[in-house]
Structure 1
Amino acid sequence: MGGVFISEFLLKLMKRLKGILDIGEDEEIEIIDSREMIEDESNYSEILLSPMKGEVIPIEKIPHKVFNGKILGEGVAILPIDGWVLSPVEGRIIHIMDSKHAIGIKSINGADILIHVGIETEKLQGEGFQIFVQTGDDVKPGDKLIQFDLEYIKNKAKSPIMPMIISNSDVYQSVITIKSGQVDYREPLLELFELD
């Protein structure tokens, strides 16, 4: 919860308390439900920003059964129009593939995020990729993660489509794509709702 919301909550609570303490013995005390004064925690969600500029593609349309079959988890994909991958969240780099085509991030809220540039790009053995982070680095939304040669990937890999997968999506009630069509860097892309 943000500090501003807590201040408003405490202000309301103090006003209610003062009202109760000021009433006479014969006056009726109104019983209030404190849950009315706080936000509904059951709807907690985490927003993942777009790490890339391009066209949003549903996970079911990724041309690879590991992704479209959701074997690795729920998610979304982007057909890129340029060659940058930025961090979609605040978190920590937990894995970088030796072939530089994929990176794993643990968000500060607990989401395990796999960003995979292109389909079957591991066969390129790192050619056409440049990594800007190391395992263990802390990142913020918009930090540069990977630069890649889009034309090279289009010519050498099965597809330039970039899946972004929530590999621990089983701990969420739902993973919802909140953007369609064209997406730009740092636009809200996925929303994760926790289980009750």
Structure 2
Amino acid sequence: MIAILKYNAGNVTSVENAINKLGYSTVITDDNSILESADKVIFPGVGEAGSAMRHLKEKGLDEVIKALKQPVLGICLGMQLMCTYSEEGDTLGLGIFETQVKQFPPKDLVPHTGWNNFTSMKSKLFENIQARNDFYFVHSYYAEICKETIAVTDYILPFSAALKKDNFYATQFHPEKSADVGIQLLKNFLKL
């Protein structure tokens, strides 16, 4: 069973639909015991970092997420909240990835919306995916490149398109909105 984290951030239904299309059963939940017993956990999100983190803390989900042992995939805001700090709302993150999330300069060129490819893809997450393949991005904040960066995209400046540490994976782009190549990435994650 694949648990999709429910935490007051959007985009949960499109992730659920993509996973269900692949033949997996899903549950959208904020129940600690279900999250802990799931085969995989997906931490999606569209929204604002400060309010999303407050909601996670109110529900005790911040500590539950950090303690998960199965593969976990953060998507967009989910990825950003897994970092140490976000300039959005002056927000302390979960600290899973040792990098900060900053706003793109200059503000008149954000959000970064559209299709981009990567350089430097280093993970089984990208099996059967080529560097020239494009994924869909929509974000105004980016995670700085760090030792846990497994893919880099350049928009205004190079940033972490994907991160990995231990059982935690994360993408700034939206695989569930990235057509066939996004479905391939989700398949790769679900096979881990």
With the length of structure 2 as denominator, give the TM-score of the two structures.
0.24
Higher relative helix content: 2
With the length of structure 1 as denominator, give the TM-score of the two structures.
0.24
Q: Per chain length, whose mean CA-contact separation is higher, i.e. which structure has more relative contact order (CA < 8 Å, sep 6+)?
A: 1
Larger radius of gyration: 1
